[in-house]
Amino acid sequence: MGLRESKKIETRRLISDCAARLFQEQGFERTTIAEIAAAARVARKTVTNYFPRKEDLALDQHEEFTAELARVVAEREPGEPPLAALGRAFRTALVTHSPAAGFTGVGFARMVAESPTLGARLRELHERREEALARALADAGGGGGAAEPSGAGDVEEGPGIAARATAAMIAAADRLMFRRIQELTLAGRTDDEIEALLTPEADHVYGMLVAAVGGFPG
C-alpha cells in the first residue's frame, strides 16, 4: 500500500472515530457535519468526500453489511446448500459477537433507537442485504432448491420469484435476530448473556426456515 492510500485510510478512520464519539455524546440528529470536521481537524468537504451521506458516518460498514449474506452463499463449501451455509455463518456471528449480527454495544444501539433517520437507513440497508441475497440465491440455482413457476423472471431482468421469496424469508429472520440482539443490548444484557439466550432461539428460527424453504438439509 502506498503512502497516499495509507493516508486516505487513516483520514477516513479518524473522521469515522470522531463522528462515532460525537454521535454517542450528542445524538445523531443533533450532531452536524461541521462539528465532525472540526473534531477531525479536516475541511467539511473532506468529510462529505469520504462520507456522502451523514448516515454513512454512523453506519460506515454498510457496504460489507449489505453484501454479507450474498457473500456467504457465493463462498460456501462445494455442495453445501445455501441455507446451511447461512445458518453456520449466523452461529459463528453469535459466538464471535459480530457487530453485523447486532452486537454493537449499548451506545450504538441507543443512538440508532433514538434516531428516526438512522432507523430508516438501517431498514434500507436490510432491504439491500435481502436484494443481494436474492441475486446470490438465483446464481446458486433457482432460489435455493425451489422450482421457478413457468415464465418466472421473464418479464424483467433480475432474480426469479423463487429466489426472491426465499431471500425474503431468510432476510426477515435475519432482521428479527438483529433487532432481538439490539433490544437485549438496550435492556442491559451482556454479549455473553445475549449469545446464550439467542442460540436456542436462532436454532428454532433456522428450523422454521428449513421447513418453509424446503430443499435444504437441517
What are the residue ranges spanned by the domains of the chain? 3-54, 62-213
Residue 24 has pLDDT above 90, yes or no: no
pLDDT digits (tens, 9 = 90+) for 63-121: 899 999 999 999 999 888 999 999 999 999 999 999 999 999 998 899 999 999 999 99
pLDDT digits (tens, 9 = 90+) for 30-66: 999 999 999 999 999 999 999 998 998 988 888 899 9
Q: What is the CA radius of gyration of the chain?
A: 19
Q: What is the pLDDT of residue 142?
A: 46
Which listed CATH number (2.60.120, 1.10.357, 1.10.730, 3.40.50) goes with 62-213? Answer: 1.10.357
**51-54 own/partner pairs: CB under 8 Å, 24+ apart:** 51/15, 51/16, 51/19, 53/121, 54/28, 54/117
Q: Cell triple for residue 48? A: 462529505
Question: CA distances (Å), 35 to each of 17, 22, 51, 61, 65, in order?
Answer: 13, 8, 14, 21, 27
pLDDT digits (tens, 9 = 90+) for 112-147: 999 999 999 999 999 999 999 999 999 987 444 444
Per-residue pLDDT band at 212 (split at 50, 70, 90): confident
Cβ(126)–Cβ(171) below 8 Å: yes
- Selection from 164, 167, 190, 160 nearest residue 72 by Cα: 167
pTM value > 0.95: no
Domain formed by 3-54, architecture = Orthogonal Bundle (1.10)
- Selection from 36, 85, 84, 87 nearest residue 60 by Cα: 36
